[in-house]
Structure formats: structure tokens, C-alpha cells
């Protein structure tokens, strides 16, 4: 990639202020003693990037000529001209695989996490991805990350439909849908006859996923009764019970299901946890939560 040199006009203090203004739901008051007692940061503190503009981020991606190393199917960028050993990973559908902060770290400090294999690691054992820490303004970084996060539609089993999240009650709830899964990936479908596409006849064509995390700590919350209701004006509501499971994307509540094209909303209902709540968390996770997502179906 060719670096697009831009002077960083917003310093760390400005970045922190921007983050606080755009992301914090409400101020939380602490004494200095309480702050130090919890390790110098508030309990459950987590840095989160503000939201950028994916349209402007796409232009940043083009200006940096990132397409020379990274292919995105469906985008009219020039074809990657790099050789197989030095070309970076394909980014089709990658937006639903990682949080925004992971993309930001990869752009600013690519050697913080190095993946082994062609397209990731050079002969020196370091990432072949150059750092853009001195090449982007904070606004450009946020926009570029927003564009990468928007890449949720893809072929070959990438997530498709929605990949969005909301905060409600004590939870942060992220909804995602993975379509185009092959027959051997659909658990419990091995005994069904296969179609020409390789998928079992009558088998669900996708996997609905709901990631439920503690709003304060960001940790996954297990042992919750979770259901999804698929709704539309011209469709009888369908309730899908989601089971706790672990995949390459981590712990989530999921179900193999075909989401009808006419679906307009998906409502996630979270009941009271079936696990014991310790006194230190008393009062939390006690109320059922309902979160409604607009469905951006294919």
C-alpha cells in the first residue's frame, strides 16, 4: 500500500474527549480513592471507538490504495496486483468477524497481533501490513474502521443480512446472520438428503447469532433464555429459540434457521438468568430485556 500522508490534527487528549462525547451513555461519578481501588480505571471500563462514516471510509480505503493488497468482492476497485505470498487477506464479509477496536489496532499497530501464514506474516516473522499511525487523522481512522465494519455481505459463508448491536439494560446485544453455509457446516443435518448446492434438502440456509455481553465489562453472559422473533406485516411472527454455543467467533446464542426475505424486524428477548447472581452484582441482570433490530435482508 502507498501511505497517504496526513498530519494528525487531533491529539490523544482530543481523541479521548471525542470518544467520551460520542460513546459514553452517561457520566459516572467516582472519588479518586474509588478509582485507585479499582486499578486506576472505573469498574467495567472499556475503551470503545466512536462511530465513523463508512462512505467516507470507503474513500480513504481507495486513497490509500488498500485494494492493491486486499480484495473485496462486489466492490469495483482495481484487481489486486500483489503476488500470493505478499497480498493481504481478503476483506469480503470481514466486518462481522471482528470488533471496531481490532481493525483500528491492525491499522495502527499491525504487529500487536500477528497471524501465521501467507498474507499475514513476512520472512522476518512480522506482519506484512504497514502501520498507518502517522498517515491518518483520527477522523480518517474512524471512517476507515466504519467502512471495514460495514463489510458484512459476502459469499462463502460470511455473515449476511445484519451485523449490528444495541445496548439495553445491563447488556450489549449484537445480532448477526451467517448465510451460504455448506451442508457439512449445518450441525445435525447429516441425515437429510442433499440438494445440488450441497445443502441438505429442507435444511436451514443460515445461522442466526446473538452475542450478549455485560454492558460494563464486555464479557459474554451465559445461562440466559434467549429467543428471536421474526416479524413482518405480511408474515405471521415466528419465534426461534436460541441455544448457547461456541464457534470460531466465540460464545453466542444461535440457531440454524432460514430467515425469510420478507422479514422486517428481529426482536431479541432475554429472560432472567438461570445462574446464581452474587451479592456484588445484586440488582443487575434481573429484568427481562427486549431489543428490536431492523432486518436488512438480502
Query: pLDDT digit string (tens) for 143-199?
Result: 999 999 888 765 433 334 445 778 889 998 988 887 754 333 333 333 333 333 344
**Residue 71: inside a domain, yes or no?**
yes
Average pLDDT over residues 72-97: 76
Q: Which of 119, 149, 179 is the last residue of a domain?
A: 149
Using an 8 Å Cβ cutoff, are 218 and 172 in contact? Answer: yes
Are 55 and 164 contained in the same domain? no
**Residue 4: inside a domain, yes or no?**
no
Better-scored residue on pLDDT, 69 or 185: 69
Give the pLDDT score at 83: 59
> Which pLDDT tens digit goes with each residue over 2-40?
443 333 333 433 444 444 444 455 667 778 888 888 788
Q: Which of 101, 125, 149 is the last residue of a domain?
A: 149
- The model's pTM is 0.48
Q: What is the CATH number for 265? A: 2.60.40.2480
Q: What is the dihedral of CA 265, 271, 275, 278, to 10 degrees?
A: 110
Average pLDDT over residues 103-120: 86
Are 64 and 19 contained in the same domain? yes
Are 23 and 144 contained in the same domain? yes
Range of the domain at 94: 12-149
Q: Which of 92, 124, 149 is the last residue of a domain?
A: 149
Residue 51 DSSP SS3: coil
Are 138 and 28 contained in the same domain? yes
Are 211 and 130 contained in the same domain? no
Which of 9-13, 66-70, 89-93, 148-152 is the least confident region?
9-13
Which of 21-30, 32-41, 47-56, 262-271 is the least confident region?
21-30
Using an 8 Å Cβ cutoff, are 147 and 60 in contact? Answer: yes
**Residue 3: inside a domain, yes or no?**
no
Q: Considering only CA atoms, which of 158, 160, 151 is closest in space to residue 259?
A: 160
Are 57 and 173 contained in the same domain? no
By CB atoms closer than 10 A (0-12, 13-18, 19+), residue 124 is exposed
Give the pLDDT score at 266: 93
**Residue 139: inside a domain, yes or no?**
yes
Are 179 and 270 contained in the same domain? yes
Are 128 and 255 contained in the same domain? no
Average pLDDT over residues 262-270: 92
Residue 219 DSSP SS3: coil
**Euclidean distance between CA atoms 212 and 174, whole angstroms:** 7
Using an 8 Å Cβ cutoff, are 92 and 77 in contact? Answer: no
- The total number of structural domains in the chain stands at 2
Residue 204 DSSP SS3: coil
Q: What is the CATH number for 51? A: 1.10.760.10
Instruction: Round the CA-based radius of gyration of the chain to a whole number and report it.
Output: 21
Amino acid at each position: 500500500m502507498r501511505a497517504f500522508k496526513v498530519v494528525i490534527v487531533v491529539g490523544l487528549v482530543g481523541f479521548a474527549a471525542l470518544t467520551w462525547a460520542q460513546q459514553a451513555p452517561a457520566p459516572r461519578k467516582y472519588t479518586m480513592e474509588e478509582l485507585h481501588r479499582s486499578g486506576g480505571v472505573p469498574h467495567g471500563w472499556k475503551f470503545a471507538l466512536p462511530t465513523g462514516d463508512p462512505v467516507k471510509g470507503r474513500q480513504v480505503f481507495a486513497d490509500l490504495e488498500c485494494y492493491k493488497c486486499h480484495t473485496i468482492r462486489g466492490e469495483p476497485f482495481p484487481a489486486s496486483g500483489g503476488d500470493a505470498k505478499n497480498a493481504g487477506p481478503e476483506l469480503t464479509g470481514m466486518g462481522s468477524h471482528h470488533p471496531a477496536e481490532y481493525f483500528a489496532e491492525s491499522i495502527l499497530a499491525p504487529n500487536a497481533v500477528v497471524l501465521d501464514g501467507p498474507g499475514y506474516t513476512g520472512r522476518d516473522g512480522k506482519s506484512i501490513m504497514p502501520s498507518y499511525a502517522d498517515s491518518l487523522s483520527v477522523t480518517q481512522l474512524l471512517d476507515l474502521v466504519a467502512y471495514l465494519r460495514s463489510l458484512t455481505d459476502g459469499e462463502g459463508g460470511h455473515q449476511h443480512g445484519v451485523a449490528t448491536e444495541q445496548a439495553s439494560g445491563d447488556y450489549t446485544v449484537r445480532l448477526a446472520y451467517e448465510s451460504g453455509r455448506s451442508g457439512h457446516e449445518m450441525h445435525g443435518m447429516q441425515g437429510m438428503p442433499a440438494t445440488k448446492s450441497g445443502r441438505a434438502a429442507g435444511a436451514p440456509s443460515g445461522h442466526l447469532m446473538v452475542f450478549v455481553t455485560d454492558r460494563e465489562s464486555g464479557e459474554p453472559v451465559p445461562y440466559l433464555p434467549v429467543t428471536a422473533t421474526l416479524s413482518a406485516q405480511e408474515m405471521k411472527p415466528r419465534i426461534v429459540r436460541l441455544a448457547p454455543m461456541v464457534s470460531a467467533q466465540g460464545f453466542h446464542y444461535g440457531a440454524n434457521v432460514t430467515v425469510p426475505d420478507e422479514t422486517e424486524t428481529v426482536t431479541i428477548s432475554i429472560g432472567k438468568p438461570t445462574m446464581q447472581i452474587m451479592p456484588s452484582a445484586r440488582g443487575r441482570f434481573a429484568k427481562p430485556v427486549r431489543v428490536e433490530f431492523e432486518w436488512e435482508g438480502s
